[in-house]
Copies of this chain bind each other. A is one copy, B any other.
């Protein structure tokens, strides 16, 4: 509550000066000039909210939203069933999407589009073969290499492979087959891993031309029958964490030539297992500095892995202890389908709900600061480069 009195004082000052102005001004308002708004200086609390627009799916889009002012800052269109990623330097939003020449029919064009985050203008595009993975949003549908020199695009036809693009030159460098494994998990300047039905990771290392130099399969780290992992990986300091349907946490270190697996640990106590479980479209977020994991959790059985979380649970990644449970319904929020957290020292947690709202929480306390109603139709993924 500290800031409220300050705000009031500031407001009062403005209001008084305006009243003084009003009394002294007799001339009419001057003619105005129409302009195009420039974005203010970026803050850590900006978030890119991907709206799949499921009931009008040819019109998916990304809303840039400010978690401090609760204002929309702009929009990036995302076509049919689009996917989104951000460049490592945060300067560029990439949309991988598909257009049809007659809206929902006609000639199909798969394309990767580059939008300047400073102007929200789309600057150029790379046309793909018509193989793009048409699926729900996920950070592994389209991804940058760590140095920004490559963009990887997951292909599913339904045979799985991926495209390697050169964003600087606007070209497709090639396609690499990943039979039995899917999606693009980037690491380092030239490695792409895919999740395999066998519970392994396939890692392809590229040469300077973006062609395959080598590939290797890891040992299995999960069982796709007994307890599959969500494909929605969560960025950690050294790689990604993958949650399983039953709540196991698999942290994978991608800093080496091959992925390394930490011992799995569980989000749920033995008594909770099989009852409380994670579920969402974007099923977790990690504050890498504080080493905290935020997971939407619900009570449900097999097949509820896409049900939203009625609570957000907070874990310490070092101790694996649960720090808090934040029920969402008491603040008027519907079950949570996506979470993201800002990486600054006064972090915000964003929680998108199955009623299309985005709640803004203090990520340290769980205090719900704001609920933005209807930020699109189906906000299913949030990014904060």
Q: Residues of A with Cβ closer than 8 Å to B?
A: 53, 55-59, 77, 79-80, 97, 99, 101-105, 109, 111, 113, 122, 125, 377
Give every chain B residue within 8 A of A109 (Cβ-Cβ): 101
Partner of A58, one of B97, B103, B111, B125: B103
Q: Are the C-beta atoms of B79 and A103 separated by less than 8 Å?
A: yes
Nearest-neighbour CB distance to chain B for A43, whole angstroms, equals: 27
Nearest-neighbour CB distance to chain B for A186, whole angstroms, equals: 26
The 10 closest A-B pairs by CB, nearest first: A56-B56, A56-B59, A79-B103, A77-B104, A59-B59, A58-B59, A99-B103, A77-B103, A99-B102, A53-B56
Partner of A101, one of B55, B59, B101: B101
Give every chain B residue within 8 A of A79 (Cβ-Cβ): 102-103
Partner of A122, one of B105, B113, B377: B105
Question: How distant is the Cα of A122 from the Cα of B99 in the complex, in angstroms?
Answer: 18
Nearest-neighbour CB distance to chain B for A275, whole angstroms, equals: 33
Question: How distant is the Cα of A113 from the Cα of B105 in the complex, in angstroms?
Answer: 12
Give every chain B residue within 8 A of A113 (Cβ-Cβ): 102
Give every chain B residue within 8 A of A122 (Cβ-Cβ): 102, 105
Question: How distant is the Cα of A109 from the Cα of B107 in the complex, in angstroms?
Answer: 13
Q: Are the C-beta atoms of A77 and B59 separated by less than 8 Å?
A: no
Residue of B nearest to A374 (CB): B55
Residue of B nearest to A58 (CB): B59
Most B-side CB within 10 Å, residue of A53, A56, A77, A377? A56
Question: How distant is the Cα of A378 from the Cα of B144 in the complex, in angstroms?
Answer: 39
Nearest-neighbour CB distance to chain B for A102, whole angstroms, equals: 6
Q: Pull 16 A–B residue pairs with CB atoms less than 8 Å apart, ordered by A.
A: A56-B56, A56-B59, A56-B377, A58-B103, A59-B59, A59-B103, A59-B104, A77-B102, A77-B105, A79-B103, A97-B103, A99-B103, A101-B109, A102-B113, A102-B122, A105-B122
Question: How distant is the Cα of A105 from the Cα of B122 in the complex, in angstroms?
Answer: 10
Give every chain B residue within 8 A of A80 (Cβ-Cβ): 103
Nearest-neighbour CB distance to chain B for A179, whole angstroms, equals: 28
Residue of B nearest to A78 (CB): B103
Residue of B nearest to A100 (CB): B99
Given A53-B56, A77-B105, A99-B103, output 8 extra A-B contacts at Cβ < 8 Å. Answer: A55-B377, A56-B56, A56-B377, A58-B103, A59-B59, A97-B103, A99-B102, A102-B111
Question: How distant is the Cα of A182 from the Cα of B109 in the complex, in angstroms?
Answer: 37
